[in-house]
């Protein structure tokens, strides 16, 4: 590894669908328990409790004519335009997702060819040395793509890499499962470039996979409605176990990344964490600061988008990053020299964290 090279973000982009779906949309749904029993509460009460826990008020759903690769392409165009680079100079094009391209009305994934190849073709990149591949890694997929890109760049194998996170989770949700209200659609993208003689860039990162007991905390299964006879399967989760797992392990992974980078938590200006659940993210932050014996948590250290965008999986963190860099999430901003943490947790169960300096 060349320690003189740092991986620097030179462009970011996102594509957030315009279709806002309010919580009131679910008032007419029939929510059932996993065993098929009717939940013995009015939908208004179910939705109110859901909003209190997750802080989600609305989410975005993709247009019917858009699939995940389309959202990823639009985010990539946005990132390329912001960077000003020629896409033909990209050495890798990495696309993180979990369900591939899904046509409305079906939950069947389409991943042949890969989404990365589809997006490369949409971008019109002719260069065969621009290697395009997909990365399924749960919600931490985009950040894991950033980590892989950092290794490629510091090894001298690449100069510029485009990393995309894109998902249409609304198409794999069970209308009879209250957890369907969490999920959303969207895409985010970043371009990393290897630079020398700079203090900016990726400082350190850490990844873990806990699979012995935790692998199936998120999984695919049939509808909660036993009368719905279909071969379709939907995204399912054990919310309580995920909450406990994330609260226990995410702060430790962030702490590990901070130690590798030689950075104190008190030097961190922002913590950009996967927008999974508002209350869970707040609990993770409190547990992180408790590890360092810090009682006073800066009120603006953790920007949030979940209330209006919902949980768009691999797209949440790059979208959040892009909005702040483009001054679209005021008063949050990044200044030269600022150090931030990016972190995510999701299916697998996987966790990763990165320390970055502007």
Q: For residue 139, which of 348, 309, 284 has the smallest C-alpha distance?
A: 348
pLDDT over 80 (residue 9): yes
* Superfamily per CATH, domain 202-357: Thiolase/Chalcone synthase (3.40.47.10)
Binning pLDDT at 50, 70 and 90, where does residue 27 land?
A: very high
Cα angle 310, 315, 317 (rounded to 5 degrees) comes to 90
For residue 186, give the 3-state DSSP assignment: strand
Q: For residue 75, which of 17, 132, 27, 15 has the smallest C-alpha distance?
A: 15
Cis check for the bond before 179: say yes or no (omega within 30 of 0): no
Q: What is the DSSP letter of 47?
A: H
pLDDT of residue 2: 65
Task: Quickly tell me which residue has 């200006």 as its tokens.
Answer: 269
Region 208-221: mean pLDDT is 96
pLDDT of residue 190: 98
Handedness of CA 15, 17, 18, 24 (dihedral sign): negative
Strands 160-168 and 92-96: parallel
| CATH code, 5-198 | 3.40.47.10
Structure confidence by residue, pLDDT tens digits, 227-238: 887 888 999 999
pLDDT of residue 107: 87
pLDDT of residue 211: 96
Structure confidence by residue, pLDDT tens digits, 82-133: 999 999 999 999 999 999 999 998 888 888 999 999 999 999 999 999 999 9
Q: What is 141-152 written as a DSSP string?
A: HHHHHHHHHHHH
pLDDT over 80 (residue 218): yes
Region 71-91: mean pLDDT is 97
For residue 228, give the 3-state DSSP assignment: coil
- H/E stretch holding 256: helix 239-261
pLDDT of residue 119: 98
Region 10-38: mean pLDDT is 94
Q: What is the reported pTM?
A: 0.95
- H/E stretch holding 289: helix 278-291
Domain 5-198 and domain 202-357 have a common topology: yes
Q: How do the domains of the chain map onto residue ranges?
A: 5-198, 202-357
């Amino acid at each position: 590894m060349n320690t003189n090279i740092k991986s620097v973000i030179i462009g970011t982009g996102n594509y957030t669908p315009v279709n806002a779906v309010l919580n009131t949309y679910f008032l007419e749904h029939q929510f059932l328990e996993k065993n098929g029993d009717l939940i013995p509460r009015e939908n208004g009460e179910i939705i109110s409790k859901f909003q209190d826990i997750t802080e989600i008020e609305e989410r975005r759903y993709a247009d019917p004519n858009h699939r995940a690769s389309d959202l990823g392409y639009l985010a990539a165009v946005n990132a390329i335009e912001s960077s000003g680079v020629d896409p033909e100079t990209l050495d890798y094009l990495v696309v993180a997702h979990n369900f591939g391209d899904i046509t409305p009305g079906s939950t069947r994934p389409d991943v042949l060819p890969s989404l990365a190849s589809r997006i490369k073709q949409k971008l019109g990149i002719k260069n065969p040395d621009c290697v395009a591949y997909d990365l399924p890694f749960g919600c931490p997929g985009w950040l894991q793509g950033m980590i892989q890109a950092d290794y490629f760049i510091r090894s001298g194998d690449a100069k510029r890499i485009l990393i995309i996170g894109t998902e249409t989770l609304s198409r794999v949700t069970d209308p009879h499962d209250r957890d369907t209200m969490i999920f959303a659609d969207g895409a985010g993208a970043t371009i990393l470039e290897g630079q020398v003689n700079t203090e900016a860039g990726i400082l350190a990162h850490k990844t873990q996979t806990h699979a012995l007991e935790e692998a199936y905390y998120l999984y695919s299964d049939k509808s909660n409605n036993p009368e719905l006879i279909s071969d379709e399967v939907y995204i399912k989760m054990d919310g309580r176990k995920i909450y406990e797992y994330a609260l226990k392990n995410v702060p430790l992974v962030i702490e590990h990344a901070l130690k590798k980078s030689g950075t104190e938590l008190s030097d961190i200006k922002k913590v950009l964490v996967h927008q999974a659940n508002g209350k869970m993210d707040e609990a993770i932050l409190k547990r992180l600061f408790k590890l360092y014996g810090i009682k006073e948590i800066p009120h603006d250290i953790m920007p949030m988008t979940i209330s209006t965008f919902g949980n768009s999986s691999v797209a949440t963190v790059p979208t959040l990053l892009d909005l702040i860099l483009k001054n679209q999430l005021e008063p949050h901003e990044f200044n030269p020299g600022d150090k931030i943490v990016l972190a995510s947790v999701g299916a697998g169960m996987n966790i990763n964290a990165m320390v970055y300096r502007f």
